[in-house]
Structure 1
Amino acid sequence: MGQKVLFFGDVGIDDTIALLFAYLSEGVDVIGIVACYGNVSKKQTTRNVRYLLEEVGRTDIPVMGGAEKPMTGEVPIYYPNVHGPEGLGPITPPPNEAAPLENFFQVISLIEEYDDLVIVNVGRMTSLATLFLLYPDTMKGIKSFYIMGGAFNVPGNVTPSAEANFYADPVAANIVMKYAERVFLFPLNVTEHAIVTPGMVNYVHAKGKAPLIKPLLDYYYEEFYKKMVPDIEGSPVHDALTLMGVEKKDICTFYRTRVAVEITGEARGLSIGDFRKSFEQDEFDGRPIHSVAISMNYFTFYQLFMSTMTGETF
C-alpha cells in the first residue's frame, strides 16, 4: 500500500480529480476525508464526497465533517461559476443526508492510529488550524503536510495579491503557516502550470479507468478557464498536483523559507516569504521554515498523471 494520507478538502472539480488520482495510485492511500466549506458549502462538499466514494467503491473511507465557516466569522462566499452549482460541474450528486458523518474529532483517533501519516489540505485551512489550536502535541506527530495555497511574487486568483485558500480564511492560513512543521506548500504560481489538456482528457476517457474525468474537466475548461483565460490550453489541476507531490517529491523544485499571511486590509491573504537570496532569513517570530514549490517539471507531471489515470506507461 502507498503512503497513508488524511485528506482535507472542499470537494469541487479539482479536489475530485485529486481523489480520483489517489484512488488509482499505488503510491497514495487515503485513510480519511475531512469535508469542509470552500468551493461549495460543507453540506454540499459532504454530498460530493459520498457520491465519489460510492462511484469508486470506497465507502469504507470515513468522512468527517469539518468547518462550516472561516475563523474570521464571515459568511463564506462560494464560487458556482468555477465549479458549477453543485461543485461537480454538470454532475448533480443524489441526496445522501441519511449517511452519518463521523465526528470531526475522530480525526485525532486516525492520526494516533498511524505512525507516518501525511496530511494533504487542498481547501480552506480552517479545520486544519483548529487542530493546531486544540491538539498541538498530537499534530507534532504528523510526518508532513502537503498544502495547496498562496501565491508568491505573482498575481492572485481572487484579488490582485491573494490566492483563494489563503484569502478565504487568512487567520487559519496564518496559524497553519506558523505552527505546522515539515510543510510542502504548493502555491498558485506553480499549480497553475499543472495543465491537463482536452487531448489528455480524451485519452484517459478512452481507457475507461476514470470515467468521471471527462465530464468534470470538460466543464472546468469550457465553462470557466476558456472564458477567464482565453489562451489557456487546458485545465490546471491545482489540488491533484499537491497530492501527486506525496508520491513523487521531485515533481516540483522547492525553496526553503518561512511563510506568513496578511490577515486584513487590501493585501488580505497575501503570501509572504523571504526570497532575498543575498540575506539571511529573518526569524519571522519563530516560524518554522517551509518548502515552497517554485517550479514544476511538467514532463514528470504528465507522465505520472497519465500513467496513473490510464494504467499505461508514459
Structure 2
Amino acid sequence: MTQTQKIIIDTDPGQDDAVAILLALASPELDVLAVTAVAGNVPLVLTHTNARKICELAGRRDVPVYAGCDRPLARDLVTAEYIHGVSGLDGISLPEPQMPLSEGDGVDVIINHVMNEPAGTVSLCVLGPLTNIATALRRAPQIADRVKQIVLMGGAYFEVGNVTPAAEFNIYVDPEAAQAVFQSGIRIVVLPLDVTHKALTTPARVARFREMAGGAENRARLGRGQPSIGEVVASWIDFFERFDVEKYGAEGAPLHDPCVIAYLLAPELFKGREVNVEIEVDSPLTRGMTVADWWRVTGREANALFLRDVDADAFFDLLVTRIGRL
C-alpha cells in the first residue's frame, strides 16, 4: 500500500495553479496539510481568495488556506494579469468563497507543520515565487533539516526565459528568495520550462476536460445549470492559452504548475539529472536566471534534480482521470 505523502501547497493562483491544486485534492495519496498563498501572478488578496475558490470547487472546505507574504524579499512585486486576467482566475467566473481565510501567518504555518510533523515527512510544493519558503528559512533555519523535499515549478535552461530573455516568471519575481532556497541544503526537485513546454494543452486534450462529467457529489454540489468542474478547467485553459499560443507559436499552452503535483504522484513520467543550480540576482540583463550546470562543467556540487522531459500523454491522462473524480 502506498504511503500518504504530507504536503503543503504554496501558491499564487493563476489558472495553472488552480489545476495543480485540483489534482492534489483529487489524489488520496496526498495529504494536503495547508495551502499557503503568496503574491505573484496577482496580489496576495486575490491569490488567497482564488485558493479558497478552488478548494470550494473541489468540495474541500476542510483544507485550510492561509495568507503569506504580500511582496518579494527585496524588490517591488511584479504580477502577470496580462496572462491570467485581473482576477488571476479569469475564465468561467466562480462565486466568492464562503470558507473563511484561516487565521495565522502562512509562513508560520509552514514552519509549524514542518516542526510538528516527523522530520523528513513534509514536502513543500511551490507553484509561485519562493518568498514564503525563503522567509520561513529566515525565521526558522532549523526547518531545513526537517523538510523532506521542495518540489517547485520555476526556472529554465534550454528554454531560457518567459518573462525576460533569461528568466522564468516565478524565479524572476523574487530571485533573492530563490537564491536562499537553492542554497538551503534542502533536497529540491525543479520542474522548469524545459518540462512544462512539453506538456501542451492541445485542442484534443482540452476537449477531454470539457467532456468530463465529474463525480456525482460534485455535480450535486455545483447545482443544476452550473458548469461542471471539467468545463471550469477547460475555460481556464482557454483563457491563458490565448496568450501562450500566440507567444510561442505552439499548438497549445504549457500547463506549468500541475507538473509539480504529477511528479509527486508519478515521478516515473519525468526525466532529468542532478545538477547545480545557482540564481542570478545582480545582473540587470539576467536577473532571475536559473544557472543550471547541466553539463557539469563548474565542479559545483549538485543541489537539485533538474527535470527536462515528461511523458505528456500520460501526464494528461493522470490529470483527466484524477480531476474527473471530484
TM over 0.5: yes
2:82 paired residue number: 81
**TM-score scaled by length of structure 2:** 0.86
Matched AA of 1:48? N
2:263 is matched with which residue?
245
CA distance in 2, matches of 1:147, 1:134: 21
1:249-293 CA-to-partner distances (Å, cap 9, x unmatched) read 11211211121100022110111122235x57235xxxx621110
SS at match of 2:262: helix
Change (3 A) 1:124 1:32: same
Whole-Å separation in 2 of the counterparts to 1:98 and 1:201? 29
* Aligned with 2:279 (options 261, 276, 285): 261
Structure 2 partner of 1:191? 196
Change (3 A) 1:272 1:91: same
Q: Is the 8 A contact 1:257 1:281 kept in 2?
A: no
Residue 25 of structure 1 aligns with an amino acid whose one-letter code is S
The one-letter amino acid of 2:243's match is F
The Cα of 1:309 is off from its aligned counterpart by 3.0
- Give unpaired runs (5+ residues) of structure 2: 215-228
Aligned equivalent of 1:175, options 173, 180, 188: 180
What amino acid is the match of 1:171? Answer: E
| Deviation sequence 1:286-309 (CA, Å, 0-9, x none) | xx6211102222233233223323
Instruction: Return the match for 1:112 from 107, 115, 118.
Output: 115
Distance in 2 of aligned mates of 1:20 and 1:96 = 16
Q: Partner letter of residue 107 of structure 1? A: I
Q: How far does residue 32 in structure 1 lie from its aligned partner after superposition?
A: 0.5
Looking at structure 2, the residues matched to 272 and 280 of structure 1 have their Cα atoms a distance apart, in angstroms, of 11
TM-score, L = length of structure 1: 0.90
Amino acid across the alignment from 1:296 = V
Deviations 1:149-188 (A, max 9, x none): 1111332001111100111111001000100421111111
CA distance in 2, matches of 1:186, 1:11: 17
Amino acid at match of 1:250: E
Task: State the Cα deviation string for residues 10-46 of structure 1 (Å, max 9, x = none).
Answer: 0110100001111222332322011111111100011
1:20 to 13, 19, 22: 22
**Partner-residue secondary structure (3-state), 1:162:** coil
Is contact 1:21–1:305 with CA below 8 Å preserved after alignment?
yes
- Contact 1:258–1:273 at 8 Å: present in 2 too? yes
SS for the counterpart of 2:33 is strand
Q: Flag the 1:205–1:26 CA change in 2: closer, same or farther, 3 A.
A: farther
**RMSD (CA atoms):** 2.0
Segment of structure 1 superposing worse, 45-54 or 20-29:
20-29
Distance 1:97 1:152 in 2: 41
Find the aligned partners of 1:193 and 1:242 in 2 and give their Cα distance: 14
1:275 to 270, 287, 294: 294
Work out the number of aligned pairs and report it.
303
Partner-residue secondary structure (3-state), 2:147 = coil
Distance change in 2, residues 1:206/1:96 (3 Å): closer
Identity across the alignment (%): 27
CA contact (8 A) 2:37 2:44 kept: yes
Judge conservation of contact 1:195–1:234 (CA < 8 Å) in 2.
yes
Partner of 1:229: 248
Partner of 1:290: 304
Tell me the distance in 1 between the aligned counterparts of 2:93 and 2:170: 24
Q: For the residues of structure 1 that align with 2:269 and 2:245, how far apart are their CA atoms?
A: 26
Alignment CA distance shift 1:119-1:160 (3 Å):
same
Alignment partners' CA distance in 1, 2:148 and 2:54: 27
**Unpaired segments of 5 or more residues in structure 1?**
none
Residues 52, 99 of structure 2: 8 Å contact kept: no
1:26-71 deviation per Cα after TM superposition (whole angstroms, max 9, x unaligned): 3323220111111111000111111111222211111111111111
Q: What is the aligned counterpart of 1:216 among 230, 236, 241?
A: 236
Q: For each residue in 1:203-254, what CA deviation from the matched residue of structure 2 results, as whole angstroms up to 9, or x when unmatched?
A: 2232222332121112222x32233233x22221110011110111112112
